[in-house]
Amino acid sequence: MPWLVMGALLGLALLSAVLTWAARGYALRQQLMDQPGERRSHSVATPRGGGIAIVISLLVTAAVAIWAWPESTPTVLVASLGLVLVAGIGWWDDHKPLPAMRRLLVHFIAATLLAGLVKVNGGSWLLAALVLLFTASLINIWNFMDGINGIAASQAVVAMLGLAPVLPWPYSLAAVALGLACLGFLPFNFPRARIFMGDVGSGALGYAVAAVLALASVRTDINWILLLVPVSPFLVDAGFTLLARIISGQRWMEPHTQHVYQRAVQAGASHPQVTGMYFALGLFSITVFNVCSNLQPRWEAAVAIAWFTALSVLWLLLRNGMRYRQGNT
């Protein structure tokens, strides 16, 4: 049985890779290309939409889960519906740009489905509300942060590395499957991007990460604040950048290059260097998470708050330092 599970999981990574290759061919035929520009971090036209491979791989995983654990059928179907909604609106947007409010409406519908699952599976109304808020946020955060080669998929991989050990069997397979689906996509996106994830992938990936976090919130006793630590590099960079844009009166939904990872590229760092820096920070984050996941709830919350405070200070130092460097070049 263990060998069968391992073989199936490796097959999932291979499936994701084959589907990414197929998605690249489709994008080239349909001329679905991201063009370089002032608000983008790439210099050559690149196909987009490769994230559909991750979505299909996860849906295949869901079908296998229903076959293996029939009692999970209602939960898996509802979660899969949310994934299809987010991926579907992203796929549409990749082919024909849509108004931001239309995309947000679909994101909140999907987030509501996930929040409902949390409530039905024993979560409190407060926890369900938090899942709703953070799911809608993570869908868009993964979209905002998918701006250089490999960063979105690699951060999902490292977050799943942190979450898989704390989830009981067989729920841990959800984290493992998501990580492997991303690994199948990564060779086509890092270190050189032969295809981008596209909105179909980035939004769906944010939803999938949120789904695993929601699963952990009802299947473990870990404080919900500590559960956010594995995704803290993205939360801090996207959250503070968004806040800074709102305070300065900018249109926060428009494309820009103000995230720390984008400023690092502008300052002269390569895509692999910046993605590697975020990956290392992610590894440090999940180490803190796993070491502290068996503390009393109040201490888990204290550690999480301290960690987010430290990352916030780091974000300010990096942002101001790179702004100063750019101003003197």
Is residue 276 one of the residues assigned to a domain?
A: yes
**pTM for the model:** 0.94
β-pair partners for 47:
33
| pLDDT > 90? residue 147 | no
Is residue 4 one of the residues assigned to a domain?
A: no
Is residue 8 one of the residues assigned to a domain?
A: no
> From CA 286, how far away is CA 164, in angstroms rounded?
11
Q: Is the dihedral of CA 107, 111, 112, 113 positive or negative?
A: positive
34 annotated as ligand-binding: no
Is residue 194 one of the residues assigned to a domain?
A: yes
DSSP structure class, residue 257:
S
Which residue carries 């009981």 as its tokens? Answer: 168
Is residue 2 one of the residues assigned to a domain?
A: no
**Which segments within the chain are labelled E, that is strand?**
33-34, 46-47
Is residue 3 one of the residues assigned to a domain?
A: no
pLDDT at 140: 94
94 annotated as ligand-binding: no
Q: Tell me the pLDDT tens digit for each residue of 92-122.
A: 999 999 998 999 999 999 999 999 999 999 9
pLDDT at 257: 76
Containing structural domain, residue 136: 13-33+42-327
Is residue 70 one of the residues assigned to a domain?
A: yes
Q: How many domains does the chain have?
A: 1
DSSP structure class, residue 187:
G
Is residue 193 one of the residues assigned to a domain?
A: yes
Q: What is the residue-averaged pLDDT of the chain?
A: 91
Nearest to 88 by CA among 74, 77, 98, 78: 98
